[in-house]
Amino acid sequence: MARRQGPRPRSEAKKPREPKREPHRAPAGSGNAKGERLQKILAAAGIGSRRQCEELIRMGRVEVDRKVITELGFRAYPQRHKITVDGVPIRPEKPLYYAVYKPDGVVSTNRDPAGRPRVIDLVPERETRLFAVGRLDLHSEGLILVTNDGELANRLTHPKFGLPKTYLVQVAGEPNREVFAKLLRGVHLAEGVARVLSIKVRRKHKQSTILEMVLNEGRNREIRRIMAKVGHKVQRLKRIAVGPIRIGKMLPGDARPLSRQEIAALRRAGAGRTV
């Protein structure tokens, strides 16, 4: 029968645990809940919309205290940290808001390799970096908002928010009730189902019809594509309202600053959902 072993010698006893080391702390403002998200700071400084600022971060074009930041969750304090984009320090800007009547042939993007006229070129402000809120395709015309308020622009263009936009659309032929019902139910596009919120006839011509359509999405060339699906080619497309802002008596190429009441209405429209 095996003998029971006695207690182990002290030299073999279990060693006491070492005291816990403090975890490595990330640089100030980077990993905890303090500070503001970097993309929000950039948007507030007029660099672009929140999405555009996120892309700048991913591309490694943003530095905080001379360190390249590519993490979208990075937080910082604009008053404490030196933040640069492409080496240029950001600075807070006075928020500006314009309504612009985009003519046919003018692009909505800020950069155009072909050198075509841009919506932002129609705004008299030249000292501040501005950008269009949303887009209209090259051959569409009408109301588009221009601002340097990236936070509000992000809320107004976020797909989950669904800001209604109103269009006058001249189409070939005369759409019937069946076509209207199909547009209201939804038309299948490659990226999903596109639906019209409301549609009515504004005027009839011999070979075309002018419709008033309201949509709350922003897919590329959406109206032209859904009308082609139901057999009516778009001949002319003009946006007459973005949420509470209407084009009124503006003419192609016009740009006007929004009133305080209009800006307040936009902020209310953008406060319906947290994004």
Question: What domains lie within the chain, and their CATH numbers?
Answer: 36-89 (3.10.290.10), 97-159+247-269 (3.30.70.580), 165-242 (3.30.70.1560)
In this prediction, residues 254-266 reach a mean pLDDT of 95
Averaged pLDDT, 264-274: 75
Q: Which residues are catalytic?
A: 137
Q: Which residue has the higher pLDDT, 3 or 155?
A: 155
User: What would the mean pLDDT of 222-227 be, rounded to a whole number?
Assistant: 95
Residue 18 buriedness (CB in 10 A; 0-12 / 13-18 / 19+): exposed
Whether 247 and 190 have beta carbons less than 8 Å apart is answered as no
Q: What is the CA 1 to chain-centroid distance, rounded? A: 81
Residue 66 DSSP one-character state = T
154 or 96: whose pLDDT is higher?
A: 96
Q: Which of 30-34, 66-70, 124-128, 253-257 has the lowest mean pLDDT?
A: 30-34
Strand order in the sheet with 88-89: 67-68, 62-64, 83-85, 88-89
pLDDT digits (tens, 9 = 90+) for 69-121: 999 989 998 878 899 999 999 887 788 999 999 999 999 988 888 989 999 99
**Mean pLDDT lowest among 152-161, 225-234, 256-265:** 152-161
The pLDDT of residue 112 is: 87
The answer on pLDDT for 241 being more than 90 is yes
